[in-house]
Chains A and B, each alone.
Chain A
Amino acid sequence: MRHDHLLTAKQLSRADVETVLDRAAEFDADLEGASDLHAGKLLALCFFEPSTRTKMSFEAAAKRLGGDVVDMGSVESSSVKKGESLADTVRVVEGYADALVLRHPKQGAAKLASDYVDVPVVNAGDGAGHHPSQTLLDLYTIREQAGLEDLSIGIMGDLKYGRTVHSLAHALTNFDVRQHFVSPESLRLPRSVRYDLHEAGAQVREHEELEDVLPNLDVLYVTRIQRERFPDEDEYEAVAGEYRITAETLEAAKDDLAVMHPLPRVDEIAAEVDDSPNATYFEQAHNGVPVRMALLDLLL
């Protein structure tokens, strides 16, 4: 892979993905063995929205590679609070670091940042847009659990606003994967993503009921349905209840179904599922470090 920036999963070819995942596997086998690889390099973390996993795993990845991070901190404590534009912020931060990881509530923010700086920009989530580094760790997890060939994956929940869903759907078009999207009508994939999937010739089906497709799935990728997307509490409860995974739900699934979730979850996967062999989401989160090490290794 040789890209200046990682802005969307759409820019990733199959070869790009495999390069990152193969490198990630090397790091995964020896997390402590790369501590001199990028000594002296600094990664800027600019998070305009809260983050636990993405931010901490990028920080861990940078430090595992021998580098370090400079962190903008919260928006409240930065010059953004004084009205500074994103364009100005990233031009300033560019002078402090060798690469920039950006999370921002507005779609297209990472592209805008990339217009203004010369250091590599990684989109760590731009509103309801994209989250490509999450996708790389998702693909790493899928490859470990089920392989990336002749696969049926169910992607369920908030498909309209779920940026991890959008990026994953794009990236999966590189592989022999049947994508089943499960959501209420109001949270279907946005037109722009459906357009891209169609253009890519992806094998896509849309469903409103999980039971229609669950027995055929190798992987079930669950996302959170956000309360604020609904006009009232009753409607939210009715919808969210239909897309909740319990031990009983999994009785209809293949024994080796991998249940994934980008986290954080609220109650869309019952705690009782955590102890089942199907639960893959914590391992998925742990994979964020070797995968982001691989990504930084290729970008820095």
Chain B
Amino acid sequence: MTDTKLRVSKIQSGTVVDHVTAGAALHVLSLLGIDGHDDATVSLGMNVPSDRMGRKDVVKVEGRELSDSELEVLSLIAPEATINIIRDYDVVEKRQVERPDRVTDVLRCPNRDCITNAGEPVQAAFAVLDDGLRCEYCGEIVREDVTDYLQN
């Protein structure tokens, strides 16, 4: 299947997240809180050949437009993703994800000795670095496997 053919299977309205890092599509769904138990119709393409990326994943979600905060978080696991907002089968908006300066309430700190993992009334917060994330409490740096630490 080519990149061009994949795009032919259009959705009526919703969001197409394209150029997702290969293998990260399920994490994108997890990030969006989509677990198959809601009404959203979801199509996934995984390890699709891509001229730009070699391999990529594509996520199509019917009836759902992503918020700005969702896009910020998406940038952490799919930094090259492009977002297509679809209405009546047309692309009405095309956006790149933008990395935020900090994220909260999305990831847990991988350091088991971090105070944010100690049952305290505090949410893990991370500063976004050029090449990773850094816990604002214990200073732990997360570069690889960010999706392993998604809270949901």
Contacts and interface: CB of A to CB of B under 8 A. Distances in A.
Q: Which residue, A86, A87, A106, has most C-beta atoms of chain B within 10 A? A: A106
Interface stretch (A18-26, A108-116, A145-153): A108-116
Contacts of B141: 191-192, 195
Given A85-B119, A87-B122, A112-B122, A127 B113 contact: yes
Nearest to A191: B141
Q: How big is the A interface, by class?
A: 20 to 34
Contacts of A115: 122
B54 interface: no
Which bracket fits the contact residues of B? 10 to 19
A115 B120 CA distance: 12
A111 B121 contact: no
A111 B137 contact: yes
A111 B134 CA distance: 14
Interface of B is mostly: loop
Interface in B101-135: 111, 113-116, 118-122, 134-135
B139 A129 contact: yes
A112 B137 contact: yes
A107 interface: yes
Nearest to B132: A195
Nearest to A107: B138
Contacts of B119: 85
B136 interface: yes
A135 B119 CA distance: 30
A192 B134 contact: yes
A85 B121 contact: yes
A87 B120 contact: yes
Nearest to A110: B115
A6 B41 CA distance: 52
A108 B115 contact: yes
B151 to A, nearest CB: 17
Contacts of A86: 115, 118, 120
Interface string A108-137: 110110010000000000111100000000
B113 A106 contact: yes
Nearest to B117: A106
Given A104-B115, A106-B138, A108-B115, 9 more contacts: A105-B113, A106-B113, A106-B115, A106-B118, A108-B116, A108-B137, A109-B115, A112-B120, A192-B140
Q: Which 6 A-B pairs have the closest CB atoms?
A: A108-B137, A107-B138, A108-B115, A108-B138, A106-B115, A192-B139
